[in-house]
Amino acid sequence: MSDNNEKQRKTLDERDQMSELERIRHSTAHVLATAIAKLWPDAQFAYGPPLLEGVHGFYYDVDLEHRISPDDFEQIEAEMKKVVKENQTFEKMVVSRDEALELAKKGRLAALGDREVESVFKIDLLNEIPEDEEISIYKNGDFWDLCAGPHVPRTGNCKAFKVMSVASAFYKGDADNPQLQRVYGTAFKNKTQLNEHLEQVEEAKQRDHRKIGKDLDLFHIDEAVGQGLILWKPKGAVVRQELQDFIGEHLDRQGYSQVFTPHIGKLDLYRTSGHFPYYSDSQFPPLAERETMKILADEGCTCGELSNKLESGEVAGFLLKPMNCPHHIKIFQSNHHSYRDLPVRLAEFGTVYRWEQSGELGGMTRVRGFTQDDAHIFCTEEQVKEEIMGCLELVKIVLGTLGMDDYRVRVGLRDKDSTKYVGDSEKWDKAEQALREAASTLGTEFAEEPGEAAFYGPKIDFVVKDVIGREWQLGTVQVDYNLPERFGLEYIGSDNAPHRPVMIHRAPFGSMERFVGVLIEHFAGKFPTWLSPEQVRILPISEKFLETADTVYQELRNAGVRVTVDKADEKVGAKIRLAQLDRVPYMLLIGAKEQESNQVSVRHRDRGDEGAVGVDEFRDKLVAEIRSRNL
């Protein structure tokens, strides 16, 4: 398993602002390295930053002949406990560049003493430190490391820790560099918080959408198709279609027009939007026309030269679309618009493609091809606030219907001292105020985060907490002044003069793949009845009742219920266990008594036995539950 998600080097100012938890985790990474150095003195360490997101709290990359495995964790932790018990002081020592280099050449950095080999990675990292930046060594006991800090006062402050896993990672995330072993751990202020986290991690394993998705036959990833490309199987497609139908009803209510666009576009389209070549590292490579490639090949053009010609625009090409917005802009631009036509709301379940590194792919939550519930609104400046409120209402409906009521709201504003933002200040002020006012109507607290706006406009993000306390960024609304300017969009105002519309991007689900992956884990595969791929399973007690089971099946099927009959020659207890494993909401048992009375014995996957009811009564109640989209 590889992990190339590199942490960017912090500035000294950023390090000074590290939270208490970050300092604990940073210090515990040094305790981990001390323990590994004691066990394997030949270890060569790269770097070990703290992490605040995800399962892990820190890691340290190490080059070591011994292959660390989970079998080693116990002895590593035992050594770490000794270091903690010794309550060693974290002592900072400011040194000159030459002094640090001399220590590294003696093998003294990230080690317990001088060695016959140099501290090779520390020499490289030393060369990256800016000339005007202070260089420091942190010492705890005999372990010395090149480090800018900060740390907690003593190793005794690092008592609540756990070594979590080990993975492979290229040095600096570059496949041309040596492959190192990345040892992950986590740490907290106290054992109570650590144990709560470990319980959450264990619960998350049980809810892992990759495992449940396979168990429930929802989706498949096939090496022959490609990593990060999801194959939606029939049952998973039901979940996706139900979600699309659900939001589609609200799109109709809010006056959106459905559109469809191709999966590919000319490179010049993305040059205009700014997506190419500025974000080319996260895109699939561009494609040249077949005839052009043939001509260039005959001229002896190399692949590298072709790539340069495509990037420079010397050769025309195409790109798998990384975003839907340029296509929607072209649909808007294909007609003349008056102020009376606005707002124009275009919606699409549009599939886009991003090049994720293989080490960053993960089930449905990190993929290379995904479908967004995308929409773009073209409106006047005066309409921005009202349109944003409509977008927020949609996100609230989505989250509320799915029982995701525990969320926080982030309002991303511009950093007024930065020059990265486009558009004039007056428009930004209006847009930011519109977002504030719209966010204040949500009935929940929101945090303003300067510097978190997109370069083209401010935004609102919904950060949802699932049932086991993990946070997911779901649902976003963004105001955009940049793309209308780049594409020269216009409408004719009441003054009979051309004006530039404002563009609003919104995606309540984000991507269907990621959203369904999150839902699988949120519900642990126990989807509410309206979302369940199989809503009812009929369990005849024996072959004698198959005909009655088929009759009930047809009646429910005619009412629009997703229903199956288990005709296996098994005892009913085994059939119930299988239905429970398949997370089917309702099981209907049919035997002699039920056949005679035209009833079914109802069993719910969570509530258990609910007794016998008439077939018509069960059908009517079930249909009402499905239509209301109850949890």
pLDDT at position 11? 60
CATH class of 240-262+343-520: alpha beta
- For residue 540, is the peptide bond before it cis, meaning its omega torsion is within 30 degrees of 0? no
Rounded Cα distance, 233 and 309, in Å: 40
pLDDT at position 415? 87
Rounded Cα distance, 387 and 346, in Å: 13
Rounded Cα distance, 502 and 400, in Å: 29
pLDDT at position 236? 97
pLDDT-derived band at 422 (thresholds 50, 70, 90) equals confident
> Which residue out of 26, 197, 240, 325 is catalytically annotated?
325
Asked whether residue 193 carries a pLDDT value surpassing 80, the answer given is yes
CATH class of 12-206: alpha beta
pLDDT at position 29? 96
> Which residue out of 207, 376, 410, 619 is catalytically annotated?
376
pLDDT at position 624? 97
- Taking the CA atoms of 168, 169, 174 and 177 in sequence, report the sign of the dihedral they define: negative
Residue in the block written with tokens 């390090």? 15
CATH number of 536-628: 3.40.50.800
> Which residue out of 275, 321, 410, 505 is catalytically annotated?
505
What is the full DSSP assignment across 71-88? GGHHHHHHHHHHHHHTT-
Q: How far apart are the first and last CA of the chain?
A: 37
Asked whether residue 464 carries a pLDDT value surpassing 80, the answer given is yes
> Which residue out of 372, 535, 595, 599 is catalytically annotated?
372
* pLDDT tens sequence across 57-86: 999 999 999 999 999 999 999 999 999 999
Q: Does the active-site annotation cover 379?
A: no
The domain segmentation of the chain, as residue ranges, is 12-206, 240-262+343-520, 264-320, 536-628
pLDDT at position 6? 47
Asked whether residue 234 carries a pLDDT value surpassing 80, the answer given is yes
> Which residue out of 3, 61, 373, 374 is catalytically annotated?
374
Q: Does the active-site annotation cover 354?
A: yes
pLDDT at position 372? 93
Asked whether residue 455 carries a pLDDT value surpassing 50, the answer given is yes
- Predicted TM-score of the model (pTM): 0.82
Of 322, 403, 312, 333, residue with least CA distance to 356: 322
Cα–Cα distances in Å, from 577 out to 77, 177, 206, 328?
41, 51, 18, 49
Q: What is the dihedral of CA 256, 257, 263, 268, to 10 degrees?
A: -90
Cα–Cα distances in Å, from 295 out to 292, 301, 314?
5, 9, 14
Weakest mean pLDDT among 301-315, 344-358, 489-503: 301-315
pLDDT at position 467? 75
pLDDT at position 398? 92
Beta bridge partners of 375: 347, 506
**Strands 471-480 and 502-507, how do they pair?**
antiparallel
Q: Does the active-site annotation cover 372?
A: yes
* pLDDT tens sequence across 506-517: 998 889 999 999
Residues contacting residue 526 through CB under 8 Å, at least 6 positions apart? 583, 585, 605, 606
The residue among 445 and 490 whose pLDDT is bigger is 490
528 neighbors 577 (Cβ within 8 angstroms): no
> Which residue out of 159, 354, 396, 522 is catalytically annotated?
354
Asked whether residue 469 carries a pLDDT value surpassing 80, the answer given is no
Question: Tokens representing 48?
Answer: 């070990």
In total, the chain counts a number of residues equal to 631
- Identity of the amino acid at 352: V
Of 434, 515, 503, residue with least CA distance to 472: 515
Q: Once rounded to an integer, what is the mean pLDDT over residues 220-225?
A: 95
Cα–Cα distances in Å, from 427 out to 119, 329, 417, 422, 558?
53, 20, 16, 10, 55
Q: Once rounded to an integer, what is the mean pLDDT over residues 435-461?
A: 86
| Percent of the chain residues topping a pLDDT of 70 | 97
> Which residue out of 459, 514, 603, 619 is catalytically annotated?
459
Question: Tokens representing 76?
Answer: 């590593």
pLDDT at position 465? 83
